[in-house]
Amino acid sequence: MSDDCIFCKIVNKDINASIVYEDDKVIGFKDLHPVSPTHILFIPKKHIKSIDHLEEGDSAIVAAILLGISKYAKQIGISENGYRVVSNIGKYGGQTVFHLHFHLLGGRAHSWPPG
Ligand code: AMP
Ligand code: ZN
Q: Mean pLDDT, the chain, as a whole number?
A: 97
| Count of alpha carbons within 13 angstroms of residue 110, beta-carbon side | 19
Residue percentage of the chain with pLDDT more than 90: 97
CB atoms within 10 A of CB 111: 7
Q: Which of 39, 101, 103, 110 is catalytic?
A: 101
- What is the Å distance from ligand 1's center to 40 Cα? 10
- What is the Å distance from ligand 2's center to 36 Cα? 24
The yes-or-no answer on residue 101 being catalytic is yes
What is the band of 3 on the pLDDT scale with cuts at 50, 70, 90? confident
User: DSSP secondary-structure letter at 81?
Assistant: T
| Shortest-distance Cα residue to atom 17 of ligand 1 | 32
Structure confidence by residue, pLDDT tens digits, 24-66: 999 999 999 999 999 999 999 999 999 999 999 999 999 999 9
CA–CA distance, 11 with 44 (Å, rounded to integer): 9
CA–CA distance, 108 with 37 (Å, rounded to integer): 7
Question: Side chain identity at 36, as an amino acid letter?
Answer: S
